[in-house]
């Protein structure tokens, strides 16, 4: 009788539901709310809730945008360097023109100097010829002085001889000066020729640089045009992939609603059976003074379920902005980062009521555990590589039911684990 009374008390305690008027219950709700808010703030913007196709399209689009930005930078750089080279070419052409003008002037001055030297040499040559034909001027001058008939004549002859000597000396000096000037002009012409040659060489090198930069700028422009087309194509692909994902997501949402409705009905039936059983036990033990058990209250849900995998939590349960689609919605489970092929175990004993493949959730398995802690509880396992049990299989707590995988909308091997209480998703962390 004592054992029966204890069983009835436990059954009724599991089914009793606290009211919002209970201060302890209100405090517990506040604590849970705070925990949920912290989990929401901690929730990282993972991309596990998008298809691989969309992620590939998004990665391609991001790459195209980055490459286009780089190509535009390269084009601007090439165009800038080309503009500098063109400015330098214009300056070098002006300097070359000045150098060529200086060379032409030096050559003209050289030609004029050569004419002066030739003329002065002719004068000096005539003087030398005359001296050769007439004799030594000094002796002639001396003879002229001897032949003077008077002091006045002597003075006049001496002045004439001095003038002749001065004229000859000036002719020689002019010739020497003309030859020196001619040599200077020749040096100027040589320097001008060297300057022109250097400037022509520099201009030619800069021309090659400009041609290379023009080719580089043309190639960069072609890259920009190509990448503009690639970005547009990637945007179209991403938009189509996103639209397909949204259609699949809506279908998954409809499937989720159907599952929730099914689980609510099963939970209600399980609770009715549990209440009927508890009532029968209570009636059978009423005479034993077990009426106090009727007032037992629900205890905490901690420990009701065991961890389905050994991996750490990577994304908690809670409301958040969807990382891909931007809407505010519920992340209806907890993600565990178990390694690929890591065993998945049943969180509690129960019956497999559904096993199927979803584009979004990959391989899914739903286990109905019946009434637990005052609610009809079911657990859902997602993204597995495969399951070892099927519809209708009864499983035991801790039994291996499948293996962690990367199926459906997933970025890596992990388990998306959902706990349903009376057909509604609840925080799995409260049940471990």
Look up the CATH number of the domain holding residue 383.
2.70.70.10
Say if residue 315 is in the same domain as residue 170: no
Say if residue 313 is in the same domain as residue 214: no
Q: How many domains is the chain built from?
A: 2
Reduced to 3 states (helix: H, G, I; strand: E, B; else coil), residue 127 is helix
Give 178-204 pLDDT, tens digit per residue.
Answer: 777 778 877 877 887 888 888 888 888
What is the average per-residue pLDDT within 110-132?
73
Specify the pLDDT at position 15.
Answer: 33
Specify the pLDDT at position 300.
Answer: 65
Say if residue 214 is in the same domain as residue 309: no
What is the average per-residue pLDDT within 68-97?
84
Could you tell me if residue 211 is inside a domain?
yes
The whole-chain average pLDDT of the chain stands at: 76
Interatomic CA distance for residues 397 and 124, integer angstroms: 132
Say if residue 429 is in the same domain as residue 315: yes
Do 339 and 311 meet the contact criterion of CB atoms below 8 Å apart?
Answer: yes
- Which is more confidently placed, 202 or 336? 336
Say if residue 84 is in the same domain as residue 211: yes
Say if residue 132 is in the same domain as residue 224: yes
Using the 3D structure, point to which of 230, 250, 278 is the last residue of a domain. Answer: 230
Could you tell me if residue 204 is inside a domain?
yes
pLDDT interval class at 143 (50, 70, 90): low
Measured CA to CA in angstroms, residue 223 lies from 60, 81, 199 at distances of 16, 18, 35
Q: Tell me which DSSP letter residue 388 carries.
A: S
What is the average per-residue pLDDT within 279-306?
61
Could you tell me if residue 107 is inside a domain?
yes
Could you tell me if residue 393 is inside a domain?
yes
pLDDT interval class at 81 (50, 70, 90): confident
106 CB-near residues (< 8 Å, 6+ apart): 185, 188, 189, 191, 192
| Long-range Cβ pairs for the range 58-61 (8 Å, 24+) | 58/238, 60/234, 60/237, 60/238, 61/231, 61/234, 61/235, 61/237, 61/238
Do 96 and 203 meet the contact criterion of CB atoms below 8 Å apart?
Answer: yes
Could you tell me if residue 305 is inside a domain?
yes
Nearest to 207 by CA among 199, 197, 196: 199
Do 404 and 340 meet the contact criterion of CB atoms below 8 Å apart?
Answer: yes
pLDDT(344) > 70 = yes
pTM (two decimals): 0.50
- Which is more confidently placed, 59 or 173? 59
Using the 3D structure, point to which of 191, 213, 230 is the last residue of a domain. Answer: 230
pLDDT(425) > 90 = yes
Say if residue 225 is in the same domain as residue 311: no
Specify the pLDDT at position 375.
Answer: 92
Using the 3D structure, point to which of 170, 201, 230 is the last residue of a domain. Answer: 230
- Which is more confidently placed, 247 or 117? 247
Say if residue 217 is in the same domain as residue 355: no
Say if residue 216 is in the same domain as residue 324: no
Tell the residue number behind the tokens 């050994």, with chain if given.
310
Look up the CATH number of the domain holding residue 135.
1.10.287
Could you tell me if residue 401 is inside a domain?
yes
Could you tell me if residue 11 is inside a domain?
no
Say if residue 210 is in the same domain as residue 320: no
Q: In whole angstroms, what separates CA 293 from the centre of its chain?
A: 65
Percent of the chain clearing pLDDT 70 (strictly above)? 71
pLDDT(268) > 70 = yes
pLDDT interval class at 322 (50, 70, 90): low
Say if residue 212 is in the same domain as residue 324: no
In terms of residue numbers, what domain contains 218? 65-230
Say if residue 111 is in the same domain as residue 224: yes
Could you tell me if residue 250 is inside a domain?
no
Specify the pLDDT at position 45.
Answer: 35
pLDDT(414) > 70 = yes
What is the average per-residue pLDDT within 298-316?
84
The strand ranges marked E within 326-430 are 328-331, 334-336, 343-345, 350-358, 362-372, 375-384, 386-387, 394-395, 400-403, 415-421, 424-426
């Amino acid at each position: 009788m004592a054992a029966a009374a204890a069983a009835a008390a436990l059954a009724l305690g599991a089914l009793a539901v606290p009211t919002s008027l209970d201060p302890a219950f209100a405090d517990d709700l506040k604590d849970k709310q705070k925990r949920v808010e912290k989990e929401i703030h901690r929730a990282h913007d993972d991309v596990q809730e998008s298809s691989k196709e969309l992620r590939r399209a998004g990665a391609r689009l991001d790459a195209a945008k980055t490459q286009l930005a780089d190509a535009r930078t390269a084009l601007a750089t090439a165009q800038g360097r080309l503009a500098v080279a063109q400015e330098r070419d214009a300056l070098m052409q002006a300097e070359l023109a000045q150098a060529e003008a200086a060379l032409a002037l030096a050559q003209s001055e050289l030609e004029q100097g050569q004419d002066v030297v030739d003329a002065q040499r002719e004068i000096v040559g005539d003087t030398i010829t005359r001296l050769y034909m007439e004799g030594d001027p000094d002796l002639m001058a001396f003879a002229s002085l001897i032949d003077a008939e008077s002091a006045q004549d002597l003075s006049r002859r001496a002045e004439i001889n001095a003038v002749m000597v001065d004229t000859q000396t000036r002719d020689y000096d002019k010739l020497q000066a003309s030859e020196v000037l001619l040599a200077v002009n020749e040096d100027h012409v040589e320097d001008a020729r060297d300057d022109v040659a250097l400037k022509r060489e520099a201009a030619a090198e800069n021309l090659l640089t400009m041609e290379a930069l023009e080719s580089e700028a043309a190639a960069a422009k072609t890259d920009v045009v190509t990448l503009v087309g690639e970005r547009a194509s990637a945007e179209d692909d991403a938009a189509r992939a996103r639209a397909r994902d949204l259609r699949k997501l809506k279908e998954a949402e409809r499937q989720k609603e159907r599952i929730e409705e099914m689980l609510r009905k099963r939970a209600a039936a399980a609770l009715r059976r549990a209440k009927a059983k508890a009532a029968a036990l209570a009636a059978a033990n009423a005479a034993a003074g077990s009426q106090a058990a009727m007032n037992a209250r629900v205890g905490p849900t901690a420990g009701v379920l065991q961890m389905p995998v050994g991996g750490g939590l990577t994304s908690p349960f809670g409301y958040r902005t969807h990382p891909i689609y931007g809407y505010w919605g519920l992340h209806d489970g907890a993600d565990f980062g178990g390694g690929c092929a890591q065993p998945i175990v049943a969180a509690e004993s129960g019956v497999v009521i559904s096993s199927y493949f979803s584009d979004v959730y990959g391989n899914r398995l739903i286990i109905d555990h019946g009434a637990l802690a005052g609610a009809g509880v079911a657990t859902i396992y997602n993204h597995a590589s495969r399951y070892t049990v099927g519809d209708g299989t009864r499983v035991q707590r801790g039994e291996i039911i499948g293996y962690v995988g990367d199926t459906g909308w997933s970025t890596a091997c992990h388990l998306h684990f959902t706990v349903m209480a009376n057909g509604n998703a609840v925080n799995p962390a409260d049940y471990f």
